[in-house]
Amino acid sequence: MEKDAKIYIAGHRGLVGSALLRKLEREGYSNIIYRSSAELDLRRQERVESFLKLARPEYVVLAAAKVGGIEANQRYSADFLYDNLMIQTNVIDSAYRNGVKKLLFMGSSCIYPKYARQPIKEEYLLSGKLESTNEAYAIAKIAGLKMCQHYNQQYGTCFIAVMPSNLYGPGDNFDPDRSHVLPALLRKIHQAKVENQKEVVVWGSGTPRREFLHVDDLAEALLFLIKIGHSPQLVNIGVGKDITIRELAMMLKEIVGFKGGIVYDRTKPDGTPRKLLDISRVKHLGWQAKISLEQGIKQTYQSYLASSRVFK
């Protein structure tokens, strides 16, 4: 890909989009375009159509989505379904109509069945029931990845659906009600330390396992997938190992330096027991994650502390 190739990042302010923007800028890509949601509401078909008709990007990374942790997914399930269906339908169809060379569509490991065999291979898609806490989000994302596959089949497009495991990193959402587990616990544990609290409440039983991928690793994988000649239709991106929520809490406690205890609120849902991705497909293509969880959490904590709203 030429350094002046026109690349449109949808969702450049989000966790994934902002990491990709940093990566592309660092690598010297000079023709990156983006719009804030106030400038371009991707849920509005006509606006998306006229934007892409005019902008005519060669590459599109569709990282705009309504996302959130286990509680937000349940509380705002209608919004998760509607917003994501609208955004992805408009962008994918307009990308085809305006001759986009390659599009990367961002999914998530929650699209796979709740009790899928582990590690989860791409082929296990639609082989069982979904986890109820994020069903609306998963249904939208499955529709998006199927849309990519069917456009490829019918129209010969090159639309790749990327399924990352649980993401974290700088620019994450630390809001207690909406965040995913890693930023949520990082914030809670930091606050507990600063305020000298005795304990921190962790939701659920602590036994579910999650695989955490640093968003800078994902950004690197996305660039790798844009550049490669052979493009798989569906590809998992992960680190190849997972830990329990309890182990995660212990690790965060250690890194933050919190001396108090951890208690479990079992009235909160556990969600999927495990969703470790099988990453052989992307490995065979030649890509592997580099950032260890410990290193990634330390860096994320530093960037969290540096953000102005945090009291130290």
Q: Which residues are catalytic?
A: 137
Instruction: Select 48 or 256, whichever has its Cβ closest to ligand GDP.
Output: 256
Question: If binding is defined by CB under 6 A, does position 69 make contact with ligand GDP?
Answer: yes
Residue of the chain from 47, 270, 285, 288 that contacts ligand GDP (CB under 6 A): 270
Question: If binding is defined by CB under 6 A, does position 208 make contact with ligand GDP?
Answer: yes
User: Sign of the CA dihedral 220, 281, 279, 68?
Assistant: positive
Instruction: Select 42 or 213, whichever has its Cβ closest to ligand GDP.
Output: 213
Tokens of 79: 């919004």
For the bound state, the minimum distance from the C-beta of residue 99 to ligand GDP, rounded and expressed in Å, comes to 36
CA distance 220 to 61: 13
For the bound state, the minimum distance from the C-beta of residue 83 to ligand GDP, rounded and expressed in Å, comes to 17
77 by Cβ neighbours in 10 Å (0-12 / 13-18 / 19+) ranks as middle
- Residue the block writes with tokens 């892409």: 52
Cis bond leading into 164, ω under 30°?
no
Question: If binding is defined by CB under 6 A, does position 84 make contact with ligand GDP?
Answer: no
Binders in 123-182 for ligand GDP, by CB under 6 A: 134, 166, 179-181
For the bound state, the minimum distance from the C-beta of residue 271 to ligand GDP, rounded and expressed in Å, comes to 3
Is the backbone of residue 203 left (phi > 0), alpha (psi -120 to 50) or beta? beta
Neighbours of 195 (CB within 10 A): 8
Total residues found in the chain within this entry: 312
Residue of the chain from 232, 240, 260, 269 that contacts ligand GDP (CB under 6 A): 269
Residue of the chain from 185, 186, 282, 297 that contacts ligand GDP (CB under 6 A): 185
Question: Under DSSP, is residue 145 helix (H, G, I), strand (E, B) or coil?
Answer: helix
Residues within the interface to ligand GDP (CB under 6 A) = 69-70, 110, 134, 166, 179-181, 184-185, 202-204, 208, 210, 245, 268-272
